[in-house]
């Protein structure tokens, strides 16, 4: 769950705050930095997997720290911040949306959170928050308000203000209007009592406990069970259907209903995906659970080092990975998901939980999930559908066998397009040895550009090929210049705009030797 901290570094953050004893003064930026530090300490103790980015803003903005799990880097950057001119909240919100979209994509199913830390000063003039809210409905298509975010994201606002300040209610109403405009959840957190290091720290800790604590649950399979934490926190499900409103919340007990072959489940649709980690029981929790038992245990027994305690999740993860199976789990009434082994690299794999939409018919090829029973070999005396292994194939695959050797072209980010063009240029510099690969990649990118209506890419490719032709060394094969010129001219021809036509190599009298 990526989190962006927007820190106001306008001149108003330099306003002093008298200490409770009247002898020590702090600036509001000092209180904000102290509160953010307490928030990061809570994450390092409870949510070590949280990606956090730091953005400072005044009339302009700057991303001081990109998304990272090393919170010490953010703390070091906070101590080096400088203050600038006036506050421009709208630009800060647009910056948060920009960096999250660039890093995680606008269609990501991973929910994000934005924390706006300011001093309660909403700015003056055309860049003020009041002016931005007043001109919401008078904007052009090129000047839209950054809220609501175009991806799942909650907005939290933490103003470093005294509750006795003038015009406080008007300011808080503006911040609440921002949260309402986003319409995806979020809260307004206000320090209680007089401003001090303690009150601000309590405010940030309260926010962290309410919004950034993973789900602590019990994973249960028959008589086996294990305390786990599910990260990120599964969000409640709310949806308006034709005849009823569906409201679901993940239970604190996740029950395994049974096991399925991964080939039967294939790639089912899910609404969220979470990491499942074993959770060490603290001494206080262990004491609460065993109050009814006899006393006299060795204190070191509860303090067993994490990683050396037997865990059901380790057994389950290893079994699912070796057997190639998934575990069907019930996370709430008539709400299911699946546990499976997922590898983010060749050396490391994790136990993951994918949660389906509520209902028992979310996987049509399996039928009603609450009607699943034992293996089909126990139900059918003869092989069903003519398969010799006495199994029903799920999902049903078409008879024709398709080749997936040539991957489809996906340009979500600029790096994907750049990678494909660089591949063409690498083959171009090794002509004529790489002639077949050169034309294959050239036609692949050309057809993708035609499918997207990206005609400018054809002209850009031809220009790059002309440039590569002029940069050929004197020792290059004569056929290389001919093939590059032929490919560049073909991209400019009318036949290049025909999707069914391929650019073929130029027939020459030169040999490849």
Per-residue pLDDT tens digits for 85-142: 889 999 999 999 999 988 887 655 678 999 999 998 888 888 889 999 988 888 887 7
Q: Please, are residues 225 and 218 in contact by the beta-carbon 8 Å criterion?
A: yes
Q: What is the DSSP letter of 260?
A: E
pLDDT at 300: 42
Better-predicted residue by pLDDT, 506 or 295: 506
Is the pLDDT at 291 greater than 60? The verdict is no
Q: How far apart are CA 496 and CA 486, in angstroms?
A: 12
Rounded to 5 degrees, what are φ and ψ at 336? -125, 165
DSSP run (H or E) holding 328:
strand 325-332
Rounded to 5 degrees, what are φ and ψ at 431? -70, 150
Numbers of helices and strands, H then E, in the chain? 15, 16
Q: How far apart are CA 344 and CA 488, in angstroms?
A: 40
Is the pLDDT at 299 greater than 50? The verdict is no
| 288 Cβ contact list (under 8 Å, min separation 6) | none
The rounded percent of the chain whose pLDDT value lies above 90 is: 45
> 381-398 burial, b if ≥16 CB within 10 A, otherwise e?
eeeeeeeeeebbebeeee
Domains of the chain: 3-211 (3.40.50.410), 215-289+308-371 (2.40.290.10), 405-497 (no CATH)
pLDDT at 304: 45
In DSSP terms, 258 is beta-bridged to: 328
Mean pLDDT of 332-352: 87
Smallest CA-to-CA distance from 91 within 26, 12, 10, 189 is with 10
Q: How far apart are CA 212 and CA 254, in angstroms?
A: 20
What order do you get walking across the sheet with 61-68 strand by strand?
61-68, 52-57, 3-8, 112-118, 153-159
pLDDT at 114: 95
Q: Please, are residues 352 and 313 in contact by the beta-carbon 8 Å criterion?
A: no
Per-residue pLDDT tens digits for 502-511: 999 988 876 5
pLDDT at 307: 56
Per-residue pLDDT tens digits for 370-418: 888 765 444 545 544 444 444 445 555 555 555 555 566 778 777 788 8
Mean pLDDT of 7-11: 94
The rounded percent of the chain whose pLDDT value lies above 70 is: 84
Is the pLDDT at 282 greater than 90? The verdict is no
Better-predicted residue by pLDDT, 354 or 310: 354
Does pTM top 0.85 for this prediction? no
Rounded to 5 degrees, what are φ and ψ at 340? -155, 165
Residues present in the chain in total: 513
Q: How far apart are CA 97 and CA 100, in angstroms?
A: 5
């Amino acid at each position: 769950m990526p989190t962006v901290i927007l820190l106001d570094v306008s001149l108003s953050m330099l306003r002093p705050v008298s200490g409770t004893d009247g002898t020590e003064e702090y600036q509001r930026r000092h209180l904000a930095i102290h509160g953010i530090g307490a928030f990061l300490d809570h994450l390092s103790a409870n949510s070590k997997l949280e990606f956090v980015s730091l953005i400072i803003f005044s009339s302009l903005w700057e991303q001081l720290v990109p998304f990272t799990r090393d919170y010490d880097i953010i703390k070091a950057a906070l101590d080096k911040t400088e203050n600038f001119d006036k506050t421009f909240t709208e630009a800060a919100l647009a910056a948060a949306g920009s960096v999250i979209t660039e890093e995680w994509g606008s269609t990501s199913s991973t929910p994000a959170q934005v924390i706006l830390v300011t001093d309660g000063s909403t700015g003056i003039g055309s860049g003020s928050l009041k002016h931005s809210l007043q001109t919401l409905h008078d904007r052009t298509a090129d000047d839209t308000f950054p809220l609501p975010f175009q991806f799942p994201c909650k907005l939290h606002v933490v103003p470093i203000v005294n509750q006795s300040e003038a015009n406080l209610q008007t300011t808080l109403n503006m911040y609440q209007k921002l949260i309402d405009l986003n319409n995806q959840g979020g809260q307004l957190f206000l320090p209680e009592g007089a401003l001090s290091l303690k009150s601000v720290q309590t405010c940030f800790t309260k926010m962290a406990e309410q919004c950034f604590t993973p789900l602590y649950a019990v994973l249960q399979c028959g008589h086996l069970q294990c305390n786990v934490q599910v990260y990120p926190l599964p969000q409640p499900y709310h949806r308006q259907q034709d005849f009823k409103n569906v409201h679901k919340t993940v239970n604190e007990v996740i029950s395994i209903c049974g096991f399925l072959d991964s080939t039967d489940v294939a790639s089912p649709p899910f609404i969220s995906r979470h990491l499942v980690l074993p959770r060490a029981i603290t001494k206080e929790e262990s004491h609460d659970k065993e109050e009814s038992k006899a006393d006299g245990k060795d204190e070191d027994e509860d303090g067993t080092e994490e990683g050396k305690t037997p865990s059901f999740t380790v057994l389950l993860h290893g079994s699912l990975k070796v057997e190639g199976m998934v575990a069907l789990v019930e996370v709430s009434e008539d709400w299911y998901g699946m546990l499976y082994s997922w590898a983010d690299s060749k050396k490391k794999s994790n136990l993951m939980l994918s949660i389906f939409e509520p209902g028992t018919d979310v996987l049509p090829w399996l039928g009603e999930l609450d009607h699943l029973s034992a293996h089909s070999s126990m139900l059918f005396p003869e092989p069903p559908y003519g398969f010799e292994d006495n199994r029903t194939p799920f999902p049903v695959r078409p008879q024709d066998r398709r080749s997936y050797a040539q991957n489809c072209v996906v340009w979500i980010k600029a790096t994907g397009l750049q990678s494909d063009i660089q591949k063409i240029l690498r083959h171009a510099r090794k002509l004529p040895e790489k002639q077949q690969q050169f034309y294959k990649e050239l036609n692949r990118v050309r057809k993708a550009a035609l499918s997207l209506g990206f005609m400018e890419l054809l002209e850009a490719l031809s220009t790059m090929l002309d440039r590569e032709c002029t940069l050929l060394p004197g020792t290059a094969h004569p056929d290389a210049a001919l093939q590059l010129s032929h490919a560049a001219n073909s991209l400019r021809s009318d036949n290049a705009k025909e999707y069914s036509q391929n650019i073929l190599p130029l027939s020459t009298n030169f040999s490849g030797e």
